[in-house]
């Protein structure tokens, strides 16, 4: 079994021992750099968006990502319609990252499917693991949020920059999401935890 096959199966793997993974990493970083350089050049806006679509595994209509943006492979990222990510987004997508429709991601957010063993000897061997992240439709992820390996955020959840949202779930800015978050709740903290359901009364708030 190759290291890439181990990665895709959620097993411990050593990316530095797999020439295919190394080549894909290098190619992805080069594409990210090209996107970041072209995104705000008047003559490069359209080509930058084309670069994004070639970089990502799947993307619906209405895709927009602000530079700088970095990811590991690109092909292991899937975004639905009307996906928006603000400046400074990082997606470590070895385990696969899937976003639903109408997802908004605030600045300086990270989605980390990759992790390392607690055992120092295993880390010294260059071993790591990658577990998928899934973000449902209608989610808002506000500034400075970190989403850890293996997390699912339910449809309609919101990870917000300290503001109140009248519908769906809200997760406070700066949260570290280590466990699944259901839809329709207010959640916050490090680690992020549901605090209460979002109710009809919340829809009346600004």
d(CA 148, CA 109): 11
Q: Which two tokens stand for residue 128?
A: 């790591």
Whether 87 is catalytic is: no
Q: Which of 54, 64, 116, 123 is catalytic?
A: 116
HEC letters along the chain: CCHHHHHHCCCCECHHHCHHHHHHHHHHHHHHHHHHHHCCCCCCHHHHHHHHHHHCCEECCCCEECCCEEECCCCCEEECCCCEECCCEEEECCCCEEECCCCEECCCCEEECEECCCCHHHHHCCCEEECCEEECCCCEECCCCEECCCCEECCCCEECCCCCCCCCCEECCCCEECCCECCCEEEECCCCEEEEECCHHHHHCC
Residues catalogued as catalytic: 116
């Amino acid at each position: 079994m190759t290291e890439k096959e181990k990665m895709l199966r959620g097993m411990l793997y050593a990316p530095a021992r797999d020439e295919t993974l190394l080549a894909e990493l290098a190619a992805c970083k080069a594409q990210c750099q090209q996107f970041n350089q072209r995104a705000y050049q008047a003559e490069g806006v359209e080509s930058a968006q084309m670069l994004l679509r070639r970089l990502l595994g799947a993307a619906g209509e209405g895709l927009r990502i602000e530079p700088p943006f970095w990811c590991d492979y690109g092909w292991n990222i899937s975004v639905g319609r009307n996906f928006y990510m603000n400046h400074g987004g990082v997606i470590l997508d070895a385990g696969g990252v899937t976003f639903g429709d109408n997802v908004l991601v605030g600045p300086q957010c990270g989605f980390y499917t990759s992790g390392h063993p607690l055992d120092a000897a295993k880390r010294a061997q260059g071993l790591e693991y990658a577990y998928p992240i899934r973000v449902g439709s209608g989610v808002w992820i506000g500034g400075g949020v970190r989403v850890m390996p293996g997390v699912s955020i339910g449809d309609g959840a919101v990870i917000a920059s300290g503001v109140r949202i009248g519908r769906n779930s809200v997760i406070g800015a700066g949260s570290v999401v280590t466990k699944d978050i259901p839809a329709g709740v207010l959640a916050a903290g490090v680690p992020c935890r549901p605090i209460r359901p979002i109710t009809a009364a919340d829809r009346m708030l600004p």
